Amino acid sequence: HTAMLTWSAVNMNPQPSKLEEAGPVSPFASSLAAGFSGVVAAAASHTFDTAKSRSECTVIPKYIAMERRLLKWKVPGNWIERKTGISPADRNVLFRGIGQRMARSGFASFLLVGSYYFVIDQFL
């Protein structure tokens, strides 16, 4: 928010001495910032949400788990794959659909903030 206020104060003459003098940010700029933050948040959380959803669906049969414990088999993969039960062959599954999720989240955030400012401008 501070960077957007500083950017809006660039062409002001004379330059404001405080950020409060720069005035509010335009609704379109706020909507774009919300859309960008939605894209970043979706990209950061997508793999974790996918791993969590897959771990809730995966059921390891009782006897396979007992055999691994008794024979001391090491489960393949790195720590997150072992914890969530994802096979190393399924690594690409974690990133499947990330583009659609980023687009959906960014567009939804942009519309939500934009419609909020539109309603505020119309009714107040």
CA distances to 28, 32, 52 from 120, in Å: 13, 17, 38
User: What does the domain layout of the chain look like in residue ranges?
Assistant: 36-123
What pLDDT is stored for residue 4 in this prediction? 62
Secondary structure (DSSP) of the chain: -HHHHHHHTTT-SSPPSSGGGG-PPPHHHHHHHHHHHHHHHHHHHHHHHHHHHHHHH----HHHHHHHHHHTPPPPS-HHHHHHT--GGGGGGGGTTHHHHHHHHHHHHHHHHHHHHHHHHHH-
Could you read off the pLDDT of 4-15 as tens digits, one per residue? 666 566 666 666
Binned at pLDDT 50, 70 and 90, residue 45 comes out as very high
Q: Which of 28-42, 62-76, 109-123 has the lowest mean pLDDT?
A: 62-76
Could you read off the pLDDT of 80-117 as tens digits, one per residue? 676 666 666 677 777 888 999 999 999 999 999 999 99
Binned at pLDDT 50, 70 and 90, residue 31 comes out as very high
Binned at pLDDT 50, 70 and 90, residue 51 comes out as confident
